[in-house]
Amino acid sequence: MMKKQLIMEKAIELFAKQGFEATSVQQITEHCGISKGAFYLSFKSKDELIFALVDHFMIQFTSDIDYLVRNVASDQNLLYEFYYAIFNSFQKHSDFGKILIKEQSRSFDEEFIIKMRYYDRLMEKTILSMVERLYEEKEVRDTKYDLVFCIKGFMSMYSQLFLFYNVPLDLKLLSQSLVEKTNLLARNTTVPFITKDLIQMFDEPLGEEVTKEQILEIIQQELVEMEESIEQESLILLKQELLAPTLPRAIVKGLVENIRNHPQTKWISYLLRNYFMV
């Protein structure tokens, strides 16, 4: 296991028990069995570690939901699978979520807030693509942006059940219930509030798309740190494909699939799925 990954995994265990403020770098290094010097080679400070952990969860969450929306074969099951995956993730990571809420008085810098907004916009894009796939154009032509906000509202409000109440929850029933609610809204809403024009008025753009050169730079950074593995071999081939495209689409899709679940390459797989459209 890479040292950076080890530190993050062990830190999560301590943060879940003690919170951010009560956990020191010394405790983290002792829990990892490493020196303070080794810690500071990976992270400049405890704050940088905390931001990296949030970044890690958001990358995993965003890329996993995007992959699901792209790859669920049946439209009939897509909305259910979407909600189930969302709340299964909330349930799985509820301890870390509770810490963030409990210690929200921490001063997160502007760069961090911008980054979180970036992930939020990526999720909006994924939800919009799902809405456009599931419903006929005549059903949601004027309401699809409003529906995206409603779905995000369901995600936000029902996530509180996992964060504030220590009770067992039936994820299947919750997902079925939200599928029914979403379908009712999609097929019966006649007075939308959120429109495309309104979004253009108050919402900032996502920013420029990540370029091929930027993806190549990210790949090169990860290759330096990766151990020899099928993920490393796949990443090398994908780097070559970016530089000089020769491979069939099916092969590229398979290579991207090879790196999808590796913690160091999950974000790269998301970027490459969008770049190659696979």
> What was the pLDDT predicted at 160?
87
Residue 206 phi, psi (nearest 5): -65, -20
Burial class (CB in 10 A: 0-12, 13-18, 19+), 245: exposed
- Which of the following CATH numbers is that of domain 1-43: 1.10.12.10, 1.20.1560.10, 3.40.50.10800, 1.10.10.60? 1.10.10.60
Distances (CA, A) of 31 to 5, 6, 52, 93, 144: 13, 10, 18, 21, 48
**pLDDT tens digits for range 66-93:** 999 999 989 999 999 999 999 999 888 8
Fold classified for 44-202: Tetracycline Repressor; domain 2 (1.10.357)
Q: Which residue from 242, 234, 236, 240 is spatially nearest to 262, judged by alpha carbons?
A: 234
Region 119-141 average pLDDT? 92
Burial class (CB in 10 A: 0-12, 13-18, 19+), 208: exposed
Is residue 12 scored above 60 in pLDDT?
yes
> What was the pLDDT predicted at 126?
95
- What average pLDDT is seen over the chain? 87
> What was the pLDDT predicted at 200?
66
**pLDDT tens digits for range 181-231:** 999 999 999 898 988 777 766 655 544 567 889 899 999 988 887 888 899
Tokens of 109: 């810098």
Is residue 268 scored above 60 in pLDDT?
yes
Q: Which amino acid is at 48?
A: E
> What was the pLDDT predicted at 26?
93
Region 24-43 average pLDDT? 91
CA 19 remoteness from chain centre? 23
Residue span(s) of the chain under CATH 1.10.10.60 come to 1-43
Q: How many whole angstroms separate alpha carbon 2 and alpha carbon 54?
A: 18
> What was the pLDDT predicted at 204?
55
Question: Residue for token digits 């420029």?
Answer: 208
Burial class (CB in 10 A: 0-12, 13-18, 19+), 161: middle
Residue span(s) of the chain under CATH 1.10.357.10 come to 44-202
> What was the pLDDT predicted at 210?
77
Q: Which residues contact 74 (CB under 8 A, 6 or more apart)?
A: none
